[in-house]
Chain A
Amino acid sequence: MSSAADTKNTVAALGEKYKYGFVTEIETEKAPKGLNEDTVRYVSAKKNEPAWMLEWRLAAFKRWLDMKEPSWARVHYPKIDYQNAYYYAAPKQTPKLQSLDEVDPKLLETYKKLGIPLNEQMALAGVAVDAVFDSVSVATTFKEKLNEVGVIFCPISEAIRDYPEMVQKYLGTVVPVTDNFFATLNSAVFSDGTFVYVPKGVRCPMELSTYFRINASETGQFERTLIIADEGSYVSYLEGCTAPKRDENQLHAAVVELVALEGAEIKYSTVQNWYPGDENGVGGIFNFVTKRGDCRGDRSKISWTQVETGSAITWKYPSCILRGDGSVGEFYSIAIANHYQQADTGTKMIHIGKNTRSRIISKGISAGKAHNTYRGLVSVLGKADNARNFTQCDSLLIGKECGAHTVPYIESRNPSAKIEHEATTSKIADDQLFYCLQRGLGQEEAVALIVNGFCKEVLQQLPMEFAVEAQKLVGISLEGSVG
């Protein structure tokens, strides 16, 4: 488990800074550039969607036209021209595939480079992957095993066709269509994503995992994920993201909705490694994501864990609505910003039910000229007797030109609430670095080790397979930050 040594090896093997900066040459089918009602119709038609879905999208699009891009986050970027992007890109390849053998070998090659275990090894690792390549889900594995216990795990486009009542019942109930500019945009043009339903009392027999990747140039990626954990069920979902290197900025505006019914638990882990742009701040993904979980039933629990190392801009606040009595929300976050990256991320914990508890552990690391903001809201509503929150926000600065900002909002309308907030800002001390060097570790290895130590509480929350990858990413993304 020597993260530092592994990191070093990985880095040496890569020979370049961004491992995933390759572009797959596959014929891509795109919608015409630009965004209007026809674009929305095109996307919907491509997916063979029922009329209700198209209506839903069109309504969202109408609302979006009147909405303004939010400007309250501490991120700065050139104006996005929404008419100068493609809203749909699918690898050309139909009809539906029965097995992996039918998948374009180049696509599989891409997955291989990404290190996605889309093969037999995966079975051993117990991971089912619903791979989203640009907008279309290409291969879904392990369906059968999941079928046995009644877990539905499929592309959302498929769920819209096959489980319309379920989708209609839950879609947009956690993140309303009009929630915010980016969520509304997503509602209008989302191309694909993942749908999960775990039936009553079922403990999902494996970690579910989706890898997202933006491949086509000038494409916005708008996935939509909906996870429903029925009463007394449990599911752990892993999401990994990466995108190739390009000079232009690409927009990514996803929406994730989680619903936990009575006694259910959802654990949602993300390792986000979109292309961050180069050392001079050129290129990189603009990541504007709305993720929210609704603890709808009593004693339900939703836990977010995120490792955000990529993207030029990260705007992301995975949140929990603690509606059920005794429900629990957790947010564990590592956000790393190096060079010119900007991250504005945090969470919202909305305590509505009695005896609700929330826990926020945020570790922000800034290096180079990067800015990293934790923005969090803990809100206790009037009926939430005995609500509890514990928040810990730690920032680590590497170098003199970066910045860390902590913006905690606390609102309490119930006098019985107990809210604790701790925050620290520190630097990698010279003596820590020297101590490591004296014992033989190189600069970058030492930094990776110290930072991994700083993040430990969050890394511990990740499933094993992800924890190792995340530790490596921490090292890779901080390369060139010292010295």
Chain B
Amino acid sequence: MLEIKNLHVKVGDKEILKGLNLSLAAGQVHAIMGPNGSGKSTLSYVLAGRAGYDITQGTITYNGEDLGALAPEARAAKGVFLAMQYPVEIPGVTTMMFLKSALNAQRRARGEKELDAIGVLKIVRQKAATLNVSEEMLKRALNVGFSGGEKKRLEILQMKLFEPKLAILDETDSGLDIDALKLVAEGVNSLRDPSRAMLVITHYQRLLDYIVPDRIHVLAKGKIVAEGGKELAKELEAKGYDQIIKDAA
């Protein structure tokens, strides 16, 4: 589903990804771990198509298509979803209104029929309940004044609403209490599907107790430096990045 080859990415004049390779098949859940500043969020932004993150070398192929050539909204319509590390506030736009506009924009781009307000409300309510997202939150301006945990839960709600094909979760577990962590993990697990792939970026082995990954990649200094099965997370926890990176070298 996703094939990244020798990816080099510059932000401004600074090269941040320096020859990254990664391959993710449909139906799989992979985790990416790595020290602060290693380029994890950068990778997620590049996959989603954020302006200013320039691919200088290498390729990203998504379902046989050159992902780099698509506008971010076109990627979204084709099933790319990024749960952001820092969800953004949009004052004056109610969460519900945002969800409806976004869902219908994606549907329109795919040539599907748009849903009316009541139709969207029904779906949203049902998904919101499983994530403990209150009706009151849906009426408030998007992410404005939401707690860290509320913002993250709303990201997962959107993931469930849009039903993406490739979901990238950038530190969705950071800042969550243990109950919220379980809710989020359940949300992710409920979306596990042979047609869907997920890339879970995290610092904590704890999350991977709930979302068991098929594979773990260690990202350091803009490259994947180590890979392994789910046991790699425990090893990382025990030895720390430095040792793992040295071992791999």
Once bound together, how far apart are the Cα atoms of A4 and B76, in whole Å?
Answer: 17
A439 in contact with B162 (CB, 8 Å): yes
A4/B101 in contact, CB under 8 A: yes
B106: CB under 8 A from chain A? yes
**Is residue B21 contacting chain A, with contact meaning CB distance below 8 A?**
no
Q: Which of A4, A429, A430, A443 has the most CB of B within 10 A?
A: A4
Which of A432, A440, A449, A453 is the most central at the interface, judged by chain B CB atoms within 10 Å of its CB?
A: A440
Contact (A440, B73) CB under 8 Å given A435-B87, A454-B91, A456-B92: yes
B92 in contact with A453 (CB, 8 Å): yes
CB-CB under 8 A from A4, the residues of chain B are: 101, 105
- A107 sits at the interface (CB 8 A): no
Per-residue interface assignment for chain A, residues 418 to 444, with 1 indicating a CB less than 8 Å from any chain B CB and 0 otherwise: 000000000001111011111111110
How far, in angstroms, from A440 to B98 measured CA to CA in the complex? 11
Q: How far is the CA of A442 from the CA of B50 in the complex (A)?
A: 13
Q: State in angstroms the CA–CA spacing of A430 and B48 once bound together.
A: 14
Chain A residue nearest to B102 (CB atoms) is A439
A137 interfacial by beta-carbon distance below 8 Å: no
Q: A432 to B101, Cβ gap below 8 A?
A: no
Which A residues lie within 8 Å of B91 (CB)? 453-454, 456
Q: Is B213 an interface residue (CB 8 A)?
A: no
B90 near A441 (CB under 8 angstroms)? no
For residues 77 through 94 of chain B, which have their beta carbon under 8 Å from a beta carbon of chain A? 77, 81-82, 84, 86-93
Q: Is B97 part of the contact surface with A, judged by Cβ < 8 Å?
A: yes
Residue of A nearest to B141 (CB): A453
From A430, A440, A443, A456, contact of B106 by CB (8 A):
A440
Residue A85 interfacial (CB < 8 Å): no
Contact B101 A449 (CB under 8 A): yes
B73 / chain A contacts, CB cutoff of 8 Å? 437-438, 440-443
Complex: how many Å from CA A449 to CA B95? 12
Cβ A438 vs Cβ B82 within 8 A:
yes
Q: Which residues of A lie under 8 Å from residue B39 when comparing CB positions? A: none
A443 to B98, CA, bound (A): 14
- Are B88 and A440 in contact, with the CB atoms below 8 A? no
Q: Is the CB of B92 within 8 A of A440?
A: no
Q: Whose C-beta in chain A lies nearest to the C-beta of B158?
A: A439
With A437-B49, A437-B76, A440-B76 given, is the CB distance from A5 to B105 under 8 Å?
yes
The answer to the question of A464 belonging to the interface, with a C-beta cut-off of 8 Å to chain B, is: no
* Interface contact A445-B101, CB-CB below 8 Å: yes
Does B52 sit within 8 A of A, measured CB to CB?
yes
Q: Is the CB of A431 within 8 A of B90?
A: no
Question: CB within 8 A of A449: which of B50, B52, B88, B98?
Answer: B98
B101 touches A441 (CB 8 A): yes
Quick one: given A430-B51, A435-B87, A454-B92, are A440 and B82 in contact (CB under 8 Å)? no
For residue B117, CB closer than 8 A to chain A, the reply is yes
B48 / chain A contacts, CB cutoff of 8 Å: 434, 438
* Distance of A1 Cα from B90 Cα, bound (Å): 17
- Please report the C-alpha to C-alpha distance between residue A431 and residue B88 in the assembled complex, in whole angstroms: 7
Residues of A within 8 A of B89 (CB): 432
11 of the cross-chain contacts (CB-CB < 8 Å) are A1-B97, A1-B117, A434-B88, A437-B76, A439-B98, A440-B76, A449-B101, A450-B93, A453-B92, A454-B91, A456-B92
Name B's A-contacting residues (CB within 8 A). Answer: 45, 48-52, 71-73, 75-77, 81-82, 84, 86-93, 97-98, 100-106, 108-109, 114, 117, 141, 158, 162
Report the 7 A-B pairs with minimum CB-CB distance, sorted nearest first.
Answer: A453-B92, A456-B92, A453-B93, A440-B106, A439-B102, A440-B76, A437-B72
